[in-house]
């Protein structure tokens, strides 16, 4: 199976593994030494020189590649002193040493053209906006593994979010196709002529979660080659975390560069960022997952008395497979989201002053204004997309995914991103902010903060704040939190983070303009070239 994958990545098809044989020369006293001819000596010398030249040439050509891979695996363990002392709550002092790097290598073969591909791959993404985003990014990689032509993915219209938006309503289709043109061939739909010629409708299947490339080659590829059109359903987290680095970089190119929001969404999102910046030089974005369905599913208790227990208990009955859980035990095990009040307490304990500006990204909050009031009291400069956008937001109100996209933009542009949960948006944005320069990202250490919040009335403020700061070390978006194999790749994109040469860091301190891409991240103006849109891509 590994042979198949190797052949896939190297179209030349050669699986060479030359190992030099070591020869041992033994002298024997029992045998007289024979004179060695000068021609033999010269021949051996020429052979050795040739081998040395070949070997050194090979090493020189691959030295940079090997050093980058080695550095990437070890760089996060080199910085001494991270998280050992007080940290800057607004930005990481170590962010300047790292940057996002997902540029395709010269050895990564070009995409297979549509006529030469193994068939058309249809993808049905599931869940809300950010869950769909993981599925789309992985679908690009799977299409590459299968040498398939990817059809623009279908979005889920029947999930909890009940949004009938299509891919083209949220993402820039032309940009998506063009940006990835060298990696994967993408089309808007299967050609009608091809569909009419098919004897059977497209075959549909669901692959297991986190399937490795070998599974796709063994189980999916034969079906695709036989049926020519194949649909994969419920496509979210269906690709393994640990795959080849070149495929990981493709994952990053798809997620962080190719998936660009449509112009109306982008313009409104940037308008809200501008309005926040007009009021404050820096601001915090808080993503709150506190919807009734989400709270009911968790089985947790949030201090609302019998009214809360009855209301959430009724909602919980929608899931027949859920069993009764001990709410306090769930809390102690870190399985409950922080309440808005607890998020505010955590931020104040970390050192954020009450005059800090915060942007709150959320859907429906259980308890409404009453639930949000304690957070407002802790941070009076409190804003939401509805407050900032005014009439501009009306066209987006019927579409939860488009509203989520607006929140995504503001959260991404914020100086500090904070979440009360470990959901899809929290993971996706944490990974993106690491890639874009390790911007400060605060994730609650739920296993430690849960029990602490339950006991906060039993201690003074200084003790509480000291414990919060101690528990949150390692959960503040520092570079050393990035360790290969930790968590979801979308949350920890370690293969796409490189170390900046020390000389560049020094130049940055001296104001060298070459280092401007450093602390502010690469954004969409990174080293990678923007594609040139073809005539077809420019069509409406």
Token digits for 148?
Answer: 């398939």
Token digits for 252?
Answer: 């990053």
Question: Which CATH number is 114-257 given?
Answer: 3.40.50.11340
pLDDT of residue 84: 56
- Kindly give the pairing relationship between strand 284-288 and strand 416-419: parallel
How many whole angstroms separate alpha carbon 339 and alpha carbon 314? Answer: 20
Closest CA to 144 of 241, 228, 244, 236: 244
Cα torsion 198, 199, 201, 207: sign:
negative
The residues spanned by each domain of the chain are 114-257, 263-499
Give the number of other Cβ atoms within 10 Å of residue 330's Cβ. Answer: 16
Token digits for 378?
Answer: 């802790």
Q: What is the pTM of this model?
A: 0.80
How many whole angstroms separate alpha carbon 489 and alpha carbon 254? Answer: 13
Vertex 183 angle, CA 181 and 189, to 5° = 55
- Alpha carbon 440 to its chain centroid, in Å, reads 16
- Kindly give the pairing relationship between strand 186-187 and strand 441-442: unpaired
- Kindly give the pairing relationship between strand 358-362 and strand 284-288: parallel
Q: Is there a contact between 3 and 15 (Cβ–Cβ < 8 Å)?
A: yes
Q: Walk along the chain (540 residues) and give the pLDDT tens digit of each residue.
A: 444 444 344 333 332 233 333 333 333 334 444 455 555 555 666 566 555 544 444 333 333 333 333 344 334 434 444 445 678 999 999 999 999 999 999 999 999 999 999 999 999 999 999 999 999 999 999 999 999 999 999 999 877 667 899 999 999 999 999 999 999 999 999 999 888 888 888 999 999 999 999 999 999 999 999 999 999 999 999 999 999 999 999 999 999 999 999 999 999 999 999 999 999 999 999 999 999 999 999 999 999 999 999 999 999 998 988 888 999 899 989 899 999 999 999 999 999 999 999 999 998 999 999 999 999 999 999 999 999 999 999 999 999 999 999 999 999 999 999 999 989 999 999 999 999 999 999 999 999 999 999 999 999 999 999 999 999 999 999 999 988 778 899 999 999 999 988 766 655 555 543 333 434 443 443 434 344 343 333 333
Give the number of other Cβ atoms within 10 Å of residue 338's Cβ. Answer: 23
């Amino acid at each position: 199976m590994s042979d198949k994958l190797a052949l896939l990545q190297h179209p030349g098809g050669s699986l060479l593994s030359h190992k030099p044989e070591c020869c041992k020369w033994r002298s024997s006293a029992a045998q007289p030494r024979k004179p060695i001819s000068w021609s033999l000596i010269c021949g051996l010398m020429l052979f050795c020189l040739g081998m040395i030249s070949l070997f050194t040439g090979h090493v020189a050509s691959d030295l940079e590649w090997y050093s980058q891979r080695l550095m990437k695996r070890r760089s996060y363990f080199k910085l001494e002193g991270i998280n050992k002392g007080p940290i800057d709550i607004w930005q990481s002092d170590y962010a300047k040493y790292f940057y996002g790097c997902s540029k395709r290598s010269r050895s990564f073969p070009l995409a297979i053209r549509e006529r030469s591909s193994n068939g058309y791959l249809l993808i049905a993404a599931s869940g809300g906006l950010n869950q769909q985003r993981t599925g789309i990014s992985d679908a690009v990689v799977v299409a590459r593994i299968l040498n398939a032509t990817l059809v623009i993915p279908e979005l889920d219209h029947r999930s909890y979010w009940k949004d009938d938006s299509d891919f083209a309503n949220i993402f820039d289709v032309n940009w998506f196709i063009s940006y990835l043109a060298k990696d994967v061939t993408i089309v808007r739909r299967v050609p009608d002529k091809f569909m009419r010629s098919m004897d059977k409708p497209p075959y549909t299947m669901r692959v297991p979660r986190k399937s490795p490339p070998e599974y796709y080659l063994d189980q999916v590829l034969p079906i695709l080659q036989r049926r020519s059109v194949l649909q994969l359903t419920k496509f979210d987290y269906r690709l393994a975390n640990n795959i080849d680095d070149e495929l990981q970089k493709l994952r990053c190119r798809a997620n962080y560069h190719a998936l660009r929001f449509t112009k109306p969404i982008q313009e409104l999102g940037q308008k809200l960022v501008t309005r926040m910046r007009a009021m404050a030089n820096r601001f915090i974005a808080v993503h709150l997952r506190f919807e009734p369905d989400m709270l009911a599913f968790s089985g947790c208790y949030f201090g609302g008395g019998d009214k809360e227990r009855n209301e959430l208990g009724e909602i919980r009955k929608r899931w027949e497979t859920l069993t009764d859980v001990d709410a306090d035990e769930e809390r102690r095990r870190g399985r409950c989201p922080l309440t808005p009040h607890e998020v505010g307490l955590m931020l104040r304990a970390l050192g954020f002053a009450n005059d800090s500006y915060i942007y709150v990204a959320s859907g429906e909050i259980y308890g409404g204004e009453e639930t949000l009031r304690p957070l407002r009291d802790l941070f009076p400069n409190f804003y939401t997309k509805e407050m900032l956008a005014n009439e501009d937001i009306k066209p987006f109100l019927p579409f939860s995914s488009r509203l989520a996209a607006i929140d995504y933009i503001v959260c991404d542009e914020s100086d500090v991103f904070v979440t009360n949960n470990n959901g899809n948006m929290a993971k996706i944005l944490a990974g993106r902010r690491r890639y874009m320069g390790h911007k400060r990202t605060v994730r609650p250490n739920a296993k430690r903060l849960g029990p602490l919040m339950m006991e906060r009335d039993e201690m003074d403020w200084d003790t509480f704040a000291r414990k919060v700061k101690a528990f949150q070390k390692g959960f503040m978006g520092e570079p050393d939190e990035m360790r290969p194999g930790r968590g979801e790749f979308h949350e920890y994109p370690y293969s796409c983070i490189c170390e900046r040469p020390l000389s560049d860091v020094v130049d940055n301190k001296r104001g060298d303009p070459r280092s401007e891409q450093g602390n502010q991240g690469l954004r969409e103006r990174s080293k990678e070239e923007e594609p040139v849109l073809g005539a077809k891509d420019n069509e409406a």
